[in-house]
Every structure is written in structure tokens, then in C-alpha cells.
Amino acid sequence: MIIPFNAPKTNPIERFANFVPLDVKRIWKNLVNTLTINNIKTKIIEKGIQPHTVRMIAKDFLTGGDAARKAEIVDIGIQKTKQAANVFKMLQYNNIPTAFIKLESPNTILCDACDMLPLEFIVRRYAWGSYLLRNNQYKKDIDNPHRFNKPIWEIFHKHSVVMPPHVNAPTQMEENDARDQYLKDGEWADGVYTDPYIKIDDVWKLFSAKNPIVDNALMNTPILLNKEELNTAINQIIIPSFESLEKNWMEISTIDGPVHLVDIKFELGFRTSDKKLLLSDVVDNDSWRIWPGGYPNKQLDKQSFREGENLSNVSNKYQLVTELTNQFKGV
């Protein structure tokens, strides 16, 4: 695939840093000089003992609906860590570059340190979820969901867009800051757009992820990947990872039939030691939709939690998914 735009050759993280306020830069500089690099909703990221490594420690915690629903579930962190390790091992078995080094403990993965891109790459085999909100030519059909002949990919920005009158001009804001200021009782304030959709062109334009894409963008955003980097991301990491996972899931039998990979989220970063682009963040049961037999009502993934299913059932589904990923090739 050829991406029709030219982007600056500077480091993509540096490009975005030019738009970050100085006080945020100072906070970040202080953070990276401490043991704990990041303490987020469902995991803690710490510096590893070896140079250019990090430890990703999973919490026994799930969130859904922009953290509107939260729950502590015993050993869910162990389940997700094992799933992620199994996914990383399988992808490495298929020669896909990842940051994974080893499973260090039941809830801890050791990885190469990476400068993470504030982007989410979504790959879809089925028209489902937020895709239906942006593409109303497809309808939610639980009995016959639309299946794409070839997987399609989209990119979303992890920084929210905040619009006037909250601010003087359209502004991007880091997710946690936006949540602290504009999320009340599980509802976002009007004019705040989380995980905006990125339309790739000569410039990157941001749109609401929950409405059809129209001509008027919310705002432009810095280009974080040039043409060559984006081609590498899509054709050497994102699509091969999806196809490898899809193949492995389809080879696993359940009482309802083989497991269908519906869609999945990937996050990438540049390895700090050599600037190589890698699949950097964990992929686990929070990252995908999976339907045994292709039936949406048989879902095994985090969507069950988002929809308010009993926590015991959610825990059992995560344990089952761990057992199923143990069957991946290369594990």
C-alpha cells in the first residue's frame, strides 16, 4: 500500500512534543527519571533493571465505557498477562517485530522500552462497534453482521479533542487530563471528543469517532508517521499481526465452532535503543472482539464487562480465553 502524503523526517515523538505545554514536558521528564514511568487504569509501567527495558505489571482491574464502569476482579491481571505473553510469542513465531522479551512473573511482562505513539490502530474483519456509527450504510445485524473480504484498518488518536467554549480554540488534551476535567458520572461534556478518528491525507485531520465522517474536521493534528513509517506500521506489523491472530483463532474449536476475530486494537512505538518500530503494547482480552462460531451473543471478550455482565461470568470468560490462547502456535 502506498500512502499518498509526505511527512517530515524528524522523530515522530519529537514532532508531537512540539505541541505539548512546557509544564507537561517537565512532569514527563521527572516521571521518566523515577522507577515508575506510568501508573494507568489497568497496569503499571516501571523501568527494567537492564537498560532500555520496561516491566508491564497488570492490575486486577477492568474499566469500561471511558472508566464509567470499574471493577476489581481477583487474578484478572494474571489472566491478561498470560494472554498477552501468548500473543507476543505467537507473533514473534511469525516474524512480526514486537517489544516482548519474556514473561517475568505471573502478572509481569518484560519488554523493550519504546517511545509510544499516541495512536490506536484498529483492524476489522466485521463491520461492528463504532464503525457502524461512522458508516451508516452498514446496519447492526446480530444474525448476519457484514464481513469484509479483506481486513480494513483505521487509526485513532489517544488524545481527546476539546472544543469551544471549554477552550478558546480546538485543542488536544491527554486522555487522563480530559477525563479529570470533562467526564462526570460516566458522561462526557458536550464538545469533548475522545479517541478521535484520523483521516490520513497531506495533513492529518481529526473527526468524531461516533458520527459519519463529513467535510468539516474538528481540527488538524501533527503527522506522527511519515509515508515510509506508516507503510511499515500497516504492512509489516498491523495487518500481519491481525492475520496471524485470525488464523490462530480460527484453528481453535469451541462447542460453538471456531473463534472469529472480529476486530482488534494495536499500539506501536519506536524502540528507544535503535528507533525500530514495534508492536509495543500488550494485546489481550481487552484488545479484541472474539465470537465463537461467529455469533455476537457468544462473545468472550471485554465487551461482556462493558455491557454489565455478571463479574463471575466475566472472570470465567477471561480464564477460558487464557486457556484457548495457550493453543496458539509458538507458545
Residue 121, SS3 per DSSP: strand
Measured in whole angstroms, the distance separating CA 254 from the mean position of its chain's CA atoms is 26
| Amino acid, res. 110 | L
Domains annotated for the chain, with CATH where assigned, are: 12-154+226-325 (3.30.470.20)
How many C-beta atoms surround the C-beta of residue 39 within 10 A?
12
Length of the chain: 331
C-alpha cell at position 282: 500488550
pLDDT tens digits along 147-166 = 999 999 999 999 999 999 99
Cell 482488534, residue located = 264
pLDDT tens digits along 23-61 = 554 444 454 445 667 776 789 999 999 999 999 999 999
- Residue 6's pLDDT band (cuts 50, 70, 90): very low
- Mean pLDDT estimate for the chain: 90
